[in-house]
Amino acid sequence: MSPSAESETIEHLNPIAARMMLAAFPEHIRAAFERRAKEIDYPVEAVLEMAIAGFLDGESLSFIDCKPRY
């Protein structure tokens, strides 16, 4: 794995991990993530990352700028 690919995996939600998480969600939640990703033309793992980051830090858009307050 190249250093930039490794950094990308550390800084963002891994696509494989995102798919595993989505598979564990109820169907209506999984479908909502997939619809939202399609609507904004983002990968579903980015939408999931935005949701998690936004929950932990209302001002963040991704894990890179997420500063959890908990």
Place of tokens 């609507």: 39
**For residues 20-27, average pLDDT:** 98
Domain boundaries, the chain: 3-56
Query: Which token pair is 34?
Result: 């997939």
Note the pLDDT tens digit of each residue in 24-54.
Answer: 999 999 999 999 999 999 999 999 999 999 9
For the question of whether the overall pTM of this predicted structure is more than 0.85, the answer is no
Q: Of the candidates 68, 51, 40, which has an alpha carbon nearest to the alpha carbon of residue 13?
A: 51
